[in-house]
Chains A and B, each alone.
Chain A
Amino acid sequence: MASLKRSVDSDPFAANISSKVYVRSTKSGKVQKIVREVYLRQDIPCSSKLCQSCLKATPRDAAGRPIPFVLSEAPAGTSVFTQGHYLVPDTNAFLSAMDLFEQSSAFYDVVVLQIVLEELRNRSLPLYNRLVGLTQSEDKRFYVFFNEFRLETHVAREAGESVNDRNDRAVRKAVAWYGEHLARTKAKKIPAVVMLSNDRDNLRKAKQEGIHACSLAEYVKQLKDGDRLLDMIPETQDRDVIKEKRPNELLYPEYFTMSKMMTGVKSGLLHQGTFNVSPYNYLEGSIRVPAFPKSLIVPGRENINRAVDGDLVVVEVLPRDQWKEPSTKVIEEDAITRNENPDAEGGGDDAVSEKERKALQEEVRRTHSKTTEGHAQPTARVVGVIKRNWRQYVGHIDQSSVSKSAQQGRKQDTVFVIPMDKKIPKIRLRTRQVAELLGKRILVTIDAWDRGSRHPVGHFIRSLGELETKAAETEALLLEYDVQYRPFPKTVLDCLPKEGHDWKVPESLDDLGWRDREDLRHLLICSIDPIGCQDIDDALHCRPLPNGNLEVGVHIADVSHFVKPNNAMDTEASIRGTTVYLVDKRIDMLPMLLGTDLCSLKPYVERYAFSVLWELTPDADIVSMRFTKSVIKSREAFSYEQAQLRVDDASQQDELTSSIRALMALSRKLKQKRMDAGALSLSSPEVKVQMESETSDPIDVKTKQHLDTMSLVEEFMLLANISVARKIYEAFPQTAILRRHGAPPKTNFDELANQLRVKRGFELSIESSRALADSLDTCVDPKEPFFNTLIRILATRCMMAAEYFCSGTQAYPEFRHYGLASEIYTHFTSPIRRYADLVAHRQLAAAIEYEAVGPGVRSRGRLEAVCKNINIRHRNAQMAGRASVAYYVGQALRGKTTEEDGFIMKILSNGFVVLVPRFGIDSLIRLRDLAEPEPEATFDAENYVLTMSGSKELRLELFQKVRVRVMDQKDETSGKRGAKMEFVKAY
């Protein structure tokens, strides 16, 4: 019998084939072993322009084009490698200091090894993408060398060798090969090949093997602007500076091991959740876990145990006698730790400083002295962190933490950075450029927070510019909310139609673009949007039908015609998720050409659209509806104001105006129907910043006016969204992209309901959205028209956030949109500025069989990932928008002082929060700002009353109307300019 076994020598390829074994675990916990073949070869070039032998054998693609060589023939030198050098970083170098490699002043001619790229991809996809971006940039000269495929540099894992050791060895081998290979070119000046690594062992072995190797710090010191770059090297990498700490110097309890936490969580003894810091008290956190209806409180530094807002942590519930009430006191970090010395870490200090202890003790005394046992809430301490949610933070250096000598010289100094986000603790930072960075907005990141350090340590990334300059503050805001604001890369722009602005709807109806498209150019369609709107997503029409009914059409920009699934533009849009609107700036989801021109349903030109057409009775009942791709020609683009004027002007009797009037009548009926079904009319203080047109400096703040034309558009958009949601759910029950709004948990309203009952005797019932809507309607103060709005604002804050989801992940009853009182809902009407709408467009197109069902429509896993991302983006965009308004409100107030009416919306034991409707801002007023010395105060928590005596006699209670002086103020510690309020009088 012939053997199936292959004899090695009979196979001429055998020497060049290797196999690689990967082990991966699947979602279900199974372990899979994957064996991959690797073909080793000798025609992978070194890509140095010095190397003639590689140049001759350049590999070519199918069209016969050779790959260009990347590495310069005369690379830059450093103080040590004067002859010039190529860099070969290891994985850790990229992981810890990607920002360095993106510098324009250094880090050119870099060889990225395949093994490094692979490892990086497994460790961090965003960093991998950034690195791939670098390899594609022409001026940075980053070359990917496939060391694992080159015969001479391929390394087989030895018995007993760890994967990491093997990979390190592969890196060293590649460096050594490059060195020898370049030496053979016999060029006059042969560049040194330098390995960059922060792994000591790897560096040591490299030196033993006689290859050039540097740590990041060593290398950067050889560069001209080394000092500046040195700051960008993460703190923990700089191992020399971290002293070994003795156990008694450790400030925080040790974390549990991962396995101990996992067992604990499984058995129900420990709980896992996302850690949130209270907005008013940085020493108190809360965490929502499934086992408790109310959030667990995590009071004090020791219990918080190095958790930072947003981290996924595991907590242990404390015994009942240690339970506390949530704090009613304002405790701000900068006020308490202002004069801490950043150098004095450890040294026998406790995690909790003396002042903090005092602040906390008052709290405890209050809790103990009261007999209100029922108010104590389950309290917990953090025992471990599952996943850090650290990102890059915008902040500025705390002036008071800077030593005199550092301000002058270039000595390395340790300073505190105060993040803009008040929930993030101060970050300790070592830098040599204190003098330059003072008074600047800077971007930093947290590297570590170990038990011996009261504050987390981080490193400097870059400076955004002077504090309070428009550019720096805008960028800071975008960074804080993780908004992608870089210009669109070329790969994205390449996806745009080649005709550019000259693109037109094809004239010939036989053109491919007209396939299955209805010609609706004859309809009297118009759009109604805010003033100056350039990205017109939607347009409407209405015409009477012979049977007395009305035909209404909502026409939405046909963005999916231009953005094909999975190309570079689609990917970019899915990452951006939404267009972000700031007061003076718009960060588009799609390139301008599409957003403001080709897709935008501009008047007088023909555009592709996706239309929803209904036949409605005069009572706004739907008789029938259909969906079609179409070509339209908008007759006019109105602003809300213009449209309103036209409708109100009885002399205007043209067809277009009458159709708007008809729409208006229908929309009122639609709205009534929604309200009858229990839709909520919620409120958030919305203001508009008026800018001076020339300088775009803010001059005034106005509350947004509500016009009927706004409701008109809104009602029909809601109708379209609901209709589309039904259709795509019917077509794709598992994978329709929908939007839900969960009913708020009862406990969310506990406080507000109690406040209303105690203060005004109103009952808030929240059994259903209908009941809530009705009871909100009863909360009226006949003397104070704003009171109802105030309650609605507070109620809004008790709501859940609406979210996108994939229909297969929820049961049908969970689809419900609580706020709109609709069984099903999606977003369809703004595909230019929201990615979810674009997905809905594709799904609807597939549902009406306009185009084939793509993978984006089919794959549930992919849709879930998309939903997760756009939910985050959506929230960030909203917060960025609000922060932008707040910043400009501050700027508009600059140098002015006005007196305004406000309402007390929260009352604390040592302060109160006032909302000023005119500016849509709320601000804290502390008792110590009322008078000097701070007035004595008794706080009646049950009745929400604060009574002051001593230096000021005053009684304040919740919902009270007060007069305040609003002025702008630059907060010296946070560096933020914002509105500051001073109490004038109580009404």
Chain B
Amino acid sequence: MPLDTSAYSLALLRVDGRRWNELRRIHAQIRTQAAADGSSYLEMGHTKVMCVVTGPSEPGPRRGTTGGAAAGASKAAAEVAVSVVVAGFSSVDRKKRGRGDKRNLELQSTISNALAASLHTHLFPHSVIQVSLHVLSQDGSLLAALINAATLACVDAGIPMTDYVVACTAGSTSTYAAGDESADPLLDLNHQEEQELPGLTVATLGETDRVAVLVCESRVQVGRLEGMLAVGVDGCKQVREILDRVVREKGKRMVLEGTVVKGEGLEDMDLD
């Protein structure tokens, strides 16, 4: 087994060889499933998720997978219904999570609220935007990966939105108990770091500093929180850049392939 997170102080290197302010490799694809309204696949390190968006559409007969209350579909704005399915093989212990799992429900409602903040749902009254997320592999920062994948799939589905909702995690190099005020903040935690160190998930609205989601489930001294948050917000900006590049490249290719006609909205794109 490798060293644990306490080895950071030896050479300022994390358990997987990263520095404190480095993201893991992010690999993303959009329109992975042609038949869907919108789809995406995203890897943050070994955390691998995929997303399919259906809608906005009229609410059909009630399906079991809902984020919010399905009955609310008759409201003035579209409902964002999120379902998260965690594959049994996604984690080392291969534990299966049931549909009603508390953690899942929490993930679903967090993602639903985050998306609703950016999507222009008021344009689609009486309808549902169904976001289905599948977790294929888990290695930390799950919520962040799910938010990022959902954003990409919504872009693919062509749902108008204010800006990307981008997320990443931030942590701190020493435990709460160590009480080390000068601990370095860490960007983008992997599973081992999430287990051993305090951390939070932050999502921002595009490049702005507007925080859409902030989840912190571990104990950490308030003095360290500011640094962690700053690193997290900064990481979100990097994530946005990466996602944006993925979207633009895909768009470029689609135009070249003639899948779509170069429209007015794409005028500012470089095509070579």
Whether B41 and A118, one on each chain, are in contact in the complex, defined by CB atoms closer than 8 angstroms, is no
Return the contact of A4 from the options B20, B31, B41, B192 (Cβ within 8 A): B41
The distance in angstroms between the C-alpha atoms of A854 and B25, with both chains bound, is 35
Q: How far is the CB of B222 from chain A (nearest CB, A)?
A: 14
Out of A1, A114, A144, which one reaches B34, CB within 8 Å? A1
**Interface residue B185 (Cβ < 8 Å from any Cβ of A):** yes
| Contacting pair B27 A6 (CB below 8 A) | yes
Q: Given A22, A63, A149, A568, which contacts B1 in the complex, CB threshold below 8 Å? A: A22
Stretch at the interface among B9-17, B57-65, B99-107: B9-17
Given contacts A2-B29, A22-B1, A565-B177, contact A149 B13 (CB under 8 A): yes
Contact B41 A44 (CB under 8 A): no
Determine the distance from Cα of A26 to Cα of B34 in the docked complex, in whole angstroms: 42
A39 in complex: contacting residue of B16, B21, B179, CB < 8 Å: B16
A331 within 8 A of B: no
Cβ-defined contact, B184 with A62, below 8 A? yes
A37 and B46: CB pair below 8 A? yes
B128 to chain A, nearest CB (A): 26
Which of B13, B92, B93 contacts A146, CB < 8 Å? B13
A1-52 interface with B by 8 A CB criterion: 1-2, 4, 6, 11, 13, 17, 19-20, 22, 24, 26, 32-41, 44
- Whether A291 is near chain B, meaning CB under 8 Å from some CB there, is no
* A61 and B20 contact, CB distance less than 8 A: yes
A34 close to B13 (CB less than 8 A):
no
Bound CA span A565–B15, Å: 24
**In the assembled complex, A325 has its CB within 8 A of some CB on chain B:** no
Smallest Cβ distance from B225 to chain A, in angstroms?
14
B11 contacts A566, CB within 8 Å? no
Contact of A40 with B17 at beta-carbon distance under 8 Å, contacts A2-B32, A32-B92, A61-B12 already known: yes
Q: Mark B89-133, 1 if CB is under 8 A from A, else 0.
A: 000110000000000000000000000000000000000000000
CB distance from A508 to the nearest CB of B (A): 22
Given A37-B16, A37-B45, A146-B13, 4 other A-B contacts at CB below 8 A? A6-B27, A11-B27, A44-B13, A59-B11
Q: A67-B11, A117-B3, A564-B177 are in contact. Are A2 and B34 (CB under 8 A)?
A: yes
Are the CB atoms of A63 and B182 closer together than 8 Å?
Answer: yes
| Smallest CB separation, A489 vs chain B (Å) | 15
Alpha-carbon distance between A1 and B41 when the two chains are bound, in angstroms: 13
In-complex Cβ contact of B17 among A62, A67, A149, A568 (8 A) = A149
- Whether the pair A146, B177 counts as a contact (CB closer than 8 A) is no
A 112-171 contacts with B by CB, 8 A:
114, 117-118, 121-122, 132, 135, 144-146, 148-149
Q: Which of A4, A62, A144 contacts B21 (CB 8 A)?
A: A62
Cα–Cα, bound, A854→B139 (Å): 26
A residues within 8 A CB of B24? 37, 39
Q: Across the two chains, which residue of chain B brings its CB closest to A114? A: B3
A353 at interface, CB cutoff 8 A: no
B2 within 8 A of A: yes
Query: Distance in Å from the Cβ of B216 to the closest Cβ of chain A?
Result: 15
Shortest Cβ distance from A122 into B: residue: B1
Within the complex, what minimum Cβ distance (angstroms) separates A8 from chain B?
11
Taking a contact as CB atoms under 8 Å apart, the answer to whether A62 and B25 are in contact is no
23 contacts between A and B (CB under 8 A): A2-B32, A26-B93, A32-B92, A32-B93, A35-B46, A36-B16, A36-B192, A37-B46, A37-B139, A39-B18, A62-B20, A62-B184, A62-B185, A67-B12, A114-B3, A118-B3, A135-B10, A144-B7, A146-B11, A149-B17, A566-B175, A566-B177, A570-B177
Q: Which of A146-203 contact B (CB under 8 A)?
A: 146, 148-149
Q: Are B3 and A567 in contact (CB-based, < 8 A)?
A: no
Q: Which residues of B are found within 8 Å of A117, using beta-carbon distances? A: 3, 7
Q: Majority SS of interface residues in chain B?
A: loop
Q: Which of B149-197 contact A (CB under 8 A)?
A: 175, 177-179, 182, 184-185, 190, 192
A567 touches B17 (CB 8 A): no
Q: List CB contacts (< 8 Å) of B21-40 with chain A.
A: 21-22, 24-25, 27, 29, 31-34
Task: Report B118 CB to chain A, min CB distance, Å.
Answer: 25
Question: Contacts of B25 on A, CB cut-off 8 Å?
Answer: 11, 13, 17, 37, 39
CB distance from A114 to the nearest CB of B (A): 7
Number of interface residues of A (CB under 8 A): 49
Query: 1/0 per residue A53-80: CB within 8 Å of B?
Result: 0000001111100010000000000000
Question: Is B78 close to A, CB under 8 A?
Answer: no
For window 204-253 of B, CB contacts with A under 8 Å fall at: 227, 231
The answer to whether A37 touches B179 (Cβ under 8 A) is no
CA distance A148 to B17 in the complex (A): 8
Q: In the complex, are the beta carbons of A36 and B34 less than 8 A apart?
A: no
Evaluate whether A4 and B50 lie within 8 angstroms (CB atoms) in the complex, with A59-B19, A567-B179 already known.
Answer: yes
Give the residues in chain B near A13, CB-CB below 8 Å.
25
Q: A132 contacts which chain B residues (CB < 8 A)?
A: 10
Determine the chain A residues whose CB is within 8 A of the CB of B182 once the complex forms: 63
In the assembled complex, the CB of B215 is this many whole angstroms from the nearest CB of chain A, namely: 20
Assembly CA distance A149 to B24 (angstroms): 14
Residue contact A118 to B1, C-beta cutoff 8 Å: yes
How far apart are the CA atoms of A62 and B182 in the complex, in Å? 9
A161 nearest CB across to chain B (Å): 19
Asked if B11 contacts A38 (CB within 8 A), the reply is: no
A1: chain B residues within 8 A (beta carbon): 32-34
Within the complex, what minimum Cβ distance (angstroms) separates A396 from chain B? 40
> How far is the CB of B196 from the nearest CB of chain A, in Å?
12
- Nearest to A47 among chain B residues (CB) is B11
CB A495 to nearest CB in B, in angstroms, measures 8
Q: Which of A2, A6, A24, A33 lies at the interface centre, i.e. has the most chain B CB atoms within 10 A of its CB?
A: A2
The listed residue with most B CB atoms (<10 A of its CB), out of A24, A67, A114, A564, is: A114
Cβ contacts under 8 Å, A146 to chain B: 11, 13, 17
Once the chains are docked, how many angstroms separate the CA of A410 from the CA of B185?
57
A565 to B178, CA, bound (A): 8
Q: How far is the CA of A63 from the CA of B185 in the complex (A)?
A: 10
B269 to chain A, nearest CB (A): 19
B22 to chain A: closest residue by CB: A39
6 smallest CB-CB distances across A and B, nearest first, come from A566-B177, A149-B17, A39-B17, A62-B184, A144-B10, A13-B25
Given A32-B92, A37-B45, A149-B17; A118-B139 close (CB under 8 Å): no
Chain A residues within an 8 Å CB radius of B13: 44, 59, 146, 149
Bound complex: CA of A37 vs CA of B12, how far in Å? 17
CB distance from B31 to the nearest CB of A (A): 7
Contact A121–B175 (Cβ < 8 Å): no
Q: How far is the CB of A132 from chain B (nearest CB, A)?
A: 8
- Closest chain-A Cβ to B163's Cβ sits at a distance in Å of 25
Q: Considering the chains assembled together, what is the distance between the CA atoms of A20 and B16 in angstroms? A: 10
A154's closest neighbor in chain B, by CB? Answer: B17
Give A41 to B184 CA distance when docked, in angstroms. 20
A46 → chain B closest CB, angstroms: 11
Which B residue's beta carbon lies closest to that of A23? Answer: B1
Shortest CB–CB separation between residue B109 and chain A, in angstroms? 26
In the bound complex, how far is the Cα of B17 from the Cα of A145, in angstroms? 12
Q: Which residues of A have CB within 8 Å of B1?
A: 22, 24, 118, 121-122
Instruction: Report the separation of the CA atoms of residues A117 and B15 in the bound assembly, to the nearest whole angstrom.
Output: 13
The minimal Cβ–Cβ distance linking B16 to chain A, given in whole angstroms, is 5
Central interface residue in B1, B24, B33, B190, by most chain A CB within 10 Å: B1
Write the nearest CB–CB distance from A379 to chain B, whole angstroms: 43
Shortest CB-to-CB span from A133 to chain B, Å, is: 12
Q: What CA separation (Å) do A2 and B156 show in the bound complex?
A: 14
Q: By the criterion CB–CB under 8 Å, are A20 and B2 in contact? A: yes
The residue on B at minimum CB distance from A3 is: B32
- Min CB–CB distance A129 → chain B (angstroms): 11
Complexed CA–CA distance, A148 and B178 (Å): 27
Within the complex, the shortest CB–CB distance from A455 to chain B, in Å, comes to: 37
CB-based contact A62/B227 at 8 Å: yes
* Residues in B whose Cβ lies below 8 Å from that of A63: 182, 184
Chain A residue contacts of B33, Cβ below 8 A: 1-2
Q: Please report the C-alpha to C-alpha distance between residue A570 and residue B175 in the assembled complex, in whole angstroms.
A: 14
Contact between chains at B184 and A22 (CB < 8 Å):
no
B15 partner residues in chain A, CB cutoff 8 A: 36
**CB neighbours of A37 from chain B (8 A):** 16, 24-25, 45-46, 139, 190
